[in-house]
Structure 1
Amino acid sequence: MRETRNLEFKETITSTFLKTVSAFSNYDGGTILFGVDDDGNIKGLSDLIKSCLDIENKINDTISPQPDYVLEPNEVNKTIKLIVKSGLQKPYLYKSKAYKRNDSATIEVDTLEFSRLVLEGKNISFEELPCKDQNLTFHFLEEQLEKSIQINSFTLDTLKTLNLYDNNNGYNNAAGL
């Protein structure tokens, strides 16, 4: 067993796992196994109850907003499975920074990705943002058609007739516009 984009091993409980909780919450979720070394060997933890409380307190005290997670202690091998679910209230921050997984490493997101996470948390995409500096209508195309081939009424049928619209590829430049 090895670490992946959605699986992280931690032999002990230190604050380094909190970046990964942020990353899992911001993206597809994932699992952190405590008491397992980087090679996937089970080492176990000495006190599962205390360890679970420590993990829970660290998450609750440092990740904002509160992520959705489940702790599953395993008495047999003395490990703890922390399952972090992908969150809806993105971005999830640790020390005012958002993180993502890059293969098996956890890294800070850049400014553009942070903006995308903020929009995703508001259920908005970049494409849906209003643009104040552009008039994104077909008015320009209508004017050009009226000037170049004296068309007074502009419809989708007009485009098909002029072979400006290809059902498979969208608009083409058959009219030389």
Structure 2
Amino acid sequence: MTTRSLPRLALLLAPLAVAPFALAAATGSARAQAAVKLEGTCSQLVIAGQDLSGSCSGTLMNTAARTRTSFDFASRDGQTLSFSGTGAQQERTEESDPLQPISLVIPGKKTPEGVVQNPVMAVGACRFTAPSPGKTEIVCEANSAEKGRYAATFLTDAKPAPDAPKP
């Protein structure tokens, strides 16, 4: 399988990884999967209008599975928030700023019984600067008529993965 069969979003963010990333691929491009773990600073985390920015974790996951792409944020108290959209709908707002439309947010919370996730239909987008040396920011915002505002902002160093090819 070639890297062309992986969704563009994960490929754009793969060079940002400052921590090891996992890449698993099944047969066929419709089942291509990639996960990139980023480390940095989370400056904003809002789940259903509740500001959890003070407890936002310094780790962000970007996953691409089948036709969906997601940005997954977490708080140190066990709450999570995933912004999910169809990767094929990615747009460019400027030459350097890809825009990922979001159609679903998935807040989650650790409980004694396990993690409870409650998907919510929402309208929004995640914007991120194209990978290049220096800082790269990922900003996600979405709104749900029933649950309110969801937002997250994450800043990471744009460093190539240890095994990335040299430019």
- Which interval holds the TM-score relative to the shorter structure? under 0.3
The two structures have a TM-score, normalised by structure 2, of: 0.21
Report the structure number with the largest CA radius of gyration.
Answer: 1
Decide which structure has greater helix share.
1
Which structure carries more strand by proportion?
2
Scaled by the length of structure 1, the TM-score of the pair is: 0.20
